[in-house]
Structure 1
């Protein structure tokens, strides 16, 4: 059994010690507010005791934490009072990621995270090991994972990937034999592409930064309105007709304040999103080591990891209107229990590159030719037109109602939203499509974030038909394709929207038949179905 790096004991002791030292302050202060018998002076002798207990617990946790690589499993034992022993079969391991912060890089330490199928949560985390030990663990686990059997849920046993014979992959200087542990470079994100990626993408998670900024400025601004709104918010909105304060402000100036504040929030969020993207994807490299993709990225926090090609569930090309305008797109892959935006992290194979190059990567990676998309029936476009018209009517009605209880005038100007209804319905319709191939199902959805997902039939878990009340009235249905990958609120399951009910049933039957056919062919040919050589 192996132990973590000795500096882990120092880190755990400090973390637990700080926690133990600070907890008495919160507990005593809260109790003293309700119980007269509790004296605030207790903090001065409880806090040192908490510090000692916390340091002792951190050291005990370090000495009780062990890990080992065995022939069939990766074993982890942890816990001080309640012991937990985990044996992680190699066939269930999806990803092995290594991350390093600035201080960790200075000290030569790294965090190793092991992800398994069944969810985005990390199965085992090693805080911390030496850099060379982290690399040894990743290489050894990757080697043992490649030799392990596939889980029954994903179909027949997989073996090592065969050489890529796709016509899109041409032999080059990197095709010469080399050490299996030495990655073959596949893609490097240039700084120009990184800047373009940062300025053409928007991450809603960065919205927490303006909130933190307001809280900080609020605490520093003694003149803030009722301690709720920083003064600079009023200063920016006032030249545009906003109120000087909240006291006695009319509805019109308050609406101006809300609009200007929303614009400030969006601008700060956009800047924070760009900074995060640069810091997160700086120095992005993608390579091939054996049958795995290996990547490395990050400026302040450095990440590296492997993506087993035999565990890939689907491949998705993403592009927003700005990226389409300049001719760029991104390529994502998903493994079982670990997908884009999941808790374990995103699986970006190519963050941003020329659209032609990305689509060529996707075609070579999956072996699929350029799909010929089918569109939903035109009845679906009329459905979207009615849907967006109803939304517009609700907005106009809300403006009219607001005018009845406030000094708001010309509420009817809100009817201008109806101008956007026809193009919005058309754009949603024309960006929907699906293609039924011999070996893959391809689904395209979205305008603001268009996603083109390629799903091998043998990776499909279930195909279900869903119909809302309105779809039933129109004879339409949506087909949901579920794989074993991890999904989040912002990245849902691939869905073919608003096709005829008969077409949906036909697609469901076709998917089921071709799934069984693909599994039989894989059982005979023992083929991965994907290529790792997409240069």
Structure 2
């Protein structure tokens, strides 16, 4: 075993990274400290009272730096007995032993502090990592050679385990002549599957929903620090500005929205720059990022479902996106992983078959009949009719324009009904449904955590039901839903799901039906 008892330390930049990490977590209290209490005192107090906020801030920075240095000095890791062992802490020593056979993936990140020194951050993901936002183990800053050493140790440990399991079988096959003399297992080779071009990346950035993230962030900031924002002054300034005229205000709003949109485009572009997908023997490897490079490994055996998403705007240009739901781990802490963030729709089936050769990628053939069509827009009327009535009553005659909502609701409902479909191919269930974007979910029976069939009183009268298939997705659950289908078809899916499983009572109610 390589360097069996040699202990390794992290790079010294770890101290800076730990300080920045803690400072980022404490940024909100610092903002309150510096702005709510002012930068300086009254002007008549001693200097240390005048500049007390600066002193507190400086002491905090020094404390965080010393804390980062201690974490760096006391952190060591080594390899022993087919385990990655980590020891840290000054007054309270922490030891963590991670068996190699439990490690599912090693995810790499190159931040702006890592790249000048040729370093990477390594996150160790295990089967238990899905139950926590934190990785099982994290090496904050090590050289690329050291990261490669971790990979080699992991590969050799897993190889030894496989050899111990199959050694008798291989010896028998060698004796029988099925394996040639001198045969050696070759090192697995990564096959390039997908690379996003700069043109596709630009389309992805310009059609992304990043502007919503930015605006929601501003709203959260405003809600947290409402007392610090001078609303009265802002109102007076805006009121004075409006007097310049509607055209000037419209131009200012346009440039404001344009600036936020450009910022979201830049964020998406930098985050997904050089997006590349490669396939190994047991894993999918995803790399992306310009300022901060990320490399994630997704074990194939942990993938629970594959979802093709067709956004109406992107569909106009012939594009779609493909996401996968994994039982923990991935390129981020989110529940889903972008396998192909933007890809030509006509190429989706080809790429999917390269990664999942046993997958059935045909269009789902079982579409819904007209029996359940009214349910797609009837429920919306229950809450829209009172709203329309109120608008007409209080804003007559202009409120009459709200009647235009009715055909919009009906058109959306019929669009959703026409899009819904499902198919069963062996052990695979395909479900297609739409909110605004069209989603086609591919799920294997053994990956489905639960199957739910819902029927309200009105459903039972019309002989329709809603089917919900749930699969594990990170810490949560992904639900694929086909609404208001014929009850016979819903029971057909249920019977398929329960085949070869422990018998369970089938409930056709509004309550969940699980395993």
Deviation at 1:308, TM superposition (A): 1.6
Supply the distance in 2 between the matched residues of 1:434 and 1:194 (Cα, whole angstroms). Answer: 32
- The residue aligned with 1:376 is 368
How many pairs does the alignment contain? 458
Q: Does the Cα contact within 8 Å between 2:366 and 2:421 map onto a contact in 1? A: yes
Deviation, 1:459, is 1.8
Deviation sequence 1:349-402 (CA, Å, 0-9, x none): 222222121122224515233143312342322011212333432431342465
TM-score (norm 2): 0.74
Q: Map Cα deviations across residues 233-262 of structure 1 (whole Å, 9 max, x no partner).
A: 9649951798xxxxxxxxxxxxxx9xx97x
Taking the aligned partners of 2:373 and 2:280, their CA distance within structure 1 comes to: 46
Q: Look up the match of 1:397.
A: 389
Contact 1:17 / 1:52 at 8 angstroms: preserved in 2? Answer: no
Which residue of the other structure, out of 430, 434, 438, is the alignment partner of 1:446? Answer: 434
Taking the aligned partners of 2:293 and 2:117, their CA distance within structure 1 comes to 14
Tell me what 1:497 maps to.
Answer: 483
Q: Mapping of 1:423-434 within 5 angstroms?
A: 423-434=411-422
Q: 1:311 aligns with which of 292, 297, 302?
A: 302
Contact 2:325-2:335 at 8 Å conserved across structures: no
Conserved? CA contact 2:326–2:473, under 8 Å: yes
Tell me the residue number matched to 2:344.
354
Q: Does the aligned pair in 1 maintain the 2:282–2:300 contact within 8 Å? A: yes
8 Å CA contact 2:106, 2:123 repeated in 1: yes
Q: Tell me if 1:330 matches 2:321.
A: yes
With over 3 angstroms needed to count, the CA separation of the structure-2 counterparts of 1:425 and 1:344, relative to structure 1, is: closer
1:466-477 equivalences in 2 (<5 Å): 466-467=454-455, 471=459, 474-477=462-465
The 8 Å contact of residues 317 and 452 in structure 1, kept in 2 or not, is answered as yes
| Structure 1 CA distance for aligned equivalents of residues 98 and 88 of structure 2 | 14
Aligned equivalent of 1:298, options 289, 293, 304: 289
Please say if 1:4 is aligned against 2:13: no
Q: Trace 1:227-376 onto structure 2 (pairs within 5 A).
A: 227=234, 231=238, 235=242, 238-239=245-246, 270-338=261-329, 343-344=333-334, 347-364=337-354, 365-369=356-360, 370-376=362-368
TM-score by length of 1: 0.71
Match of 1:8, SS state, is helix
Query: Which one scores higher on RCO, CA 8 angstroms, separation ≥ 6?
Result: 1
Q: Which residue number corresponds to residue 142 of structure 2?
A: 129
Which residue in the other structure is 2:42 paired with? Answer: none
Partner of 2:498: 512
Alignment of 1:1-400 (within 5 A): 1-12=7-18, 50-117=60-127, 118-119=130-131, 121-123=133-135, 124-138=137-151, 140-141=153-154, 144=157, 180=187, 183-203=190-210, 204-208=212-216, 225-227=232-234, 231=238, 235=242, 238-239=245-246, 270-338=261-329, 343-344=333-334, 347-364=337-354, 365-369=356-360, 370-400=362-392
Give the Å deviation of 1:8: 0.9
Shift of 1:313: 1.7
Deviations 1:467-511 (A, max 9, x none): 4565456543332223233266xx832223223344333322311
Give the unaligned 5+ runs of structure 1: 33-38, 150-156, 159-176, 243-256, 517-535
Distance in 2 between the 1:233 and 1:351 partners? Answer: 45
Superposed displacement of residue 278, structure 1: 1.2
**Gapped regions of structure 2 (runs ≥ 5):** 1-6, 39-47, 167-183, 503-515
* Alpha-carbon distance between aligned partners in 1 of 2:102 and 2:56, rounded to the nearest angstrom: 46
